Amino acid sequence: MPNIAKVLARVVVDDLDKAIPLYQALSGAEQAQKFGHGPVKLASVGPFLLLEAEGAEGYTNRTATILVFDVAPVVREIELAGGEIIEGPSAGPNGERLVARHPDGSVFEYIAVPNV
């Protein structure tokens, strides 16, 4: 069974509340899940993860957020490939998370969501 449940496109916006309606219309999502992580205000809207620009400076280097069923295989595969775990695994607002740099230099956030 594949470990990846969903990939979220990360979008930095100036105003979260003003941006949400467009991403709801584009994705057909009826609701947006708003939450915070440290200084960042976020909203999950369908296949989009919106980050409000103010406070998001340290979070904009990630290519995408990948929802997985389990982070342990992610750690193993990245380390076997010669990548680097930058943060975590640690608890996050929506589940266990980690940030990893792949050997090609791209950076991804992985979040465990076993019930997706």
Residue 38 phi/psi, 5° resolution? 60, -130
Mean pLDDT, residues 87-113 taken together: 90
pLDDT, position 116: 59
Mean pLDDT, the chain, whole residue set: 90
- pLDDT value of position 83: 95
Mean pLDDT of 7-12: 92
In order of their start, the domains of the chain are 4-112 (3.10.180.10)
Q: What is the pLDDT of residues 17-29, one digit of tens each?
A: 999 999 999 999 9
pLDDT the model gives residue 51: 92
Surface-to-core class of residue 100, CB atoms within 10 Å of its CB (0-12 exposed, 13-18 middle, 19+ buried): buried
Of the pLDDT bands very low, low, confident and very high (cuts 50, 70, 90), residue 111 is very high
Bond from prior residue into 89 cis (ω within 30 degrees of 0): yes
Q: What are 2's two structure tokens?
A: 């594949």
What pLDDT is attached to residue 48? Answer: 94
Counting residues of the chain whose pLDDT is more than 90, the rounded percentage is 74
d(CA 1, CA 98): 21
